[in-house]
Amino acid sequence: GADIRQLLGTTGLVTLDPGFGNTAACSSAITYIDGDAGILRYRGYPIEQLADKANFLEVSYLLIYGELPTATEYADFAERVSRHTMLDEDLRQFFSGFPRNAHPMPVLSSAVSALSTFYQDTLNPRDDEAQELATVRLMAKLPTLAAYTYKKSIGQPFLYPDNSLGLVENFLRLTFGVPAEEYGLDPEIVRALDLLFILHADHEQNCSTSTVRLVGSSEANLFSSISSAINALSGPLHGGANAAVMDMLEEIKASGGDVDSFVRRVKNKEAGVKLMGFGHRVYKNYDPRARLVKNVADTIIGKLAGGDELLDIATALEERALSDDYFVERKLYPNVDFYTGLIYRAMGFPTHFFTVLFALGRLPGWIAHYREMVHDPATKIGRPRQIYTGAAERSFVPMEQR
């Protein structure tokens, strides 16, 4: 019976839209998704074409600058990125403060946050030149930081980047290479990881990208905004889903591979039991990225692991779900992360590192959104309203009378 204007604290129009399912917070020219038709395009280019013909650095350029690079632009960008892969020696020391068994996501977000203390010349969002340098630094240093979170977790020494290598090659060598030994790069693995990065590179206003925009809208610097995005990505409903899928598959395997009884538990909505890697806020059709990932999974897992029982369980689970009314009615299809974990595992990455790989792929999208926001004259500080449901006005009660 309360007057709605009192609850809102305003006489203006306010919409209540938990999860922002129907609320656009900005306009953007970066990524187009038609969730019903299962369409994804970066700057107008279908994801299938980019996955087939482009590489990750080229796609990063496209997302950040709006056009595919010419050969000269690409060479210049690649050269600038490779020149900035090293970290300040003091930043390397930073890793020693964390426990070895720390989850790599908070270590990574802390390290990215710390970049703003080491590179203070690139903090001003209104200075285009500074933003350009911050962009290149992040693209170059995140793979190094990510590899160091891994090295830290297994107690191995950090390697220096080798700038004769490309972004993905460098990252793989920094992660799996050891001092004094040549690291043998497998071009098929390089290409597969590059492709997975392309598929993760942007996805319009998802939770972590919205975080970049919300944090950045206060004119917080690029490093701080990306650090916040890494934290947003860490949750199991977002970037953490790829690891959660693996836990789910392991659990099914441990129970004898019984897909049916797991699906029954999901349908009964047992507390905490969801079909991880299924469902998406926007896609109500097969996630176009999931199709491309499935192809990579078949090749890489076949090649590296000689097959994987978990892949068989995943395939059975997908078939079972896609023919079940519960999933059909709710339009629940595999999302990009249903198969990625299996590929990462076959490549040798531990499960808790999977979300770091997602962050590496998503970085150019985050940067593109930050830069678009900074240049958009319509940008205002993000500040949602609420519907107040607390107590009406009441008088203070002294402590001894409570």
- Closest among 371, 374, 377 to 61, alpha carbons compared: 371
The residue count for binding ligand ACO (CB under 6 A) is 19
The yes or no reply on residue 201 touching ligand ACO (CB under 6 A) is: no
CB of 269 to ligand ACO, least distance (A): 6
d(CA 261, CA 137): 49
d(CA 57, CA 171): 13
H or E, element range at 281: none
Q: How far is the CB of 206 from ligand ACO (least distance, A)?
A: 6
Extract the tokens encoding 306: 């000689």
Say whether residue 281 binds ligand ACO (CB under 6 A).
yes
Q: Give the tokens for residue 24.
A: 């656009």
Q: Which is nearer to ligand ACO, 50 or 332 (CB)?
A: 332
The interface mask with ligand ACO, positions 211-250, x = CB under 6 A, is --------------------------xxx-x---------
Q: How far is the CB of 277 from ligand ACO (least distance, A)?
A: 5
For ligand ACO, which residue of 69, 216, 279, 365 counts as binding (CB under 6 A)? 279
Q: Which of 202, 203, 191 is nearest to 296 (CA)?
A: 191
Task: Report residue 228 as tokens.
Answer: 């916040």
Stretch of 4-12, 83-91, 152-160, 272-280 contacting ligand ACO, by CB under 6 A = 272-280
**Does 280 participate in catalysis according to the annotation?**
yes
45-46 and 39-42: which strand pairing? antiparallel
Q: How far apart are CA 346 and CA 340, in angstroms?
A: 10
Give every CB contact of residue 5 below 8 A, 6+ residues apart in sequence.
11
Of 206, 203, 82, 212, give the one whose Cα is nearest residue 137: 82
Kindly state whether residue 293 participates in binding ligand ACO, applying the rule CB under 6 A.
no
Written as one letter, the residue type at 278 is: F
Q: Which two tokens stand for residue 88?
A: 């300040």
Q: In what order do the strands lie in the sheet with 39-42?
A: 31-34, 39-42, 45-46
How far does the chain reach from its first CA to its final CA, in angstroms? 28
Which residue in the list 280, 287, 352, 369 is annotated as catalytic?
280
The residue (of 19 and 99) whose beta carbon lies closer to ligand ACO is 19
- Map the footprint of ligand ACO across residues 321-350, applying CB under 6 A: 330, 332, 335-337
The CA radius of gyration of the chain, in Å to the nearest whole number, is 23
Does residue number 275 form part of the binding site for ligand ACO (CB under 6 A)? Answer: yes
We find the least distance from the C-beta atom of residue 281 to ligand ACO, in angstroms, to be 4
Strands 31-34 and 39-42: antiparallel
Give least dist CB 11 to ligand ACO, A. 31
Return d(Cα 138, Cα 150) in angstroms, integer.
18
Is residue 139 at the binding interface for ligand ACO, with CB under 6 A as the rule? no
Residues 56-95 that bind ligand ACO (CB under 6 A): none
141 binds ligand ACO (CB under 6 A): no
| By CB under 6 A, residue 304 contacts ligand ACO | no
Judged by CB under 6 A, does residue 278 bind ligand ACO?
yes
Closest CB 275 distance from ligand ACO, rounded Å: 4
Catalytic residue among 203, 337, 352, 369: 337
Indicate the residue among 69 and 341 with the shorter CB distance to ligand ACO.
Answer: 341
Taking CB atoms, the residue at the shortest distance from ligand ACO is 279
Using CB under 6 A as the binding rule, whether residue 274 contacts ligand ACO is answered as yes
The verdict on 320 binding ligand ACO (CB under 6 A) reads no
Q: Which of 159, 212, 252, 266 binds ligand ACO (CB under 6 A)?
A: 266
Residue 280 binds to ligand ACO (criterion: CB under 6 A): yes
- Cα gap 299→285, rounded to integer Å: 24
C-alpha to C-alpha distance for 362 and 357, rounded to whole angstroms = 9
In whole angstroms, give the CA distance from residue 246 to residue 317. Answer: 13
- The whole-angstrom separation of Cα 315 and Cα 245 is 13
Is 308 annotated as catalytic?
A: no
Q: Among all residues, which ones are annotated catalytic?
A: 280, 337
Q: Which residues bind ligand ACO (CB under 6 A)?
A: 19, 237-239, 241, 266, 274-281, 330, 332, 335-337
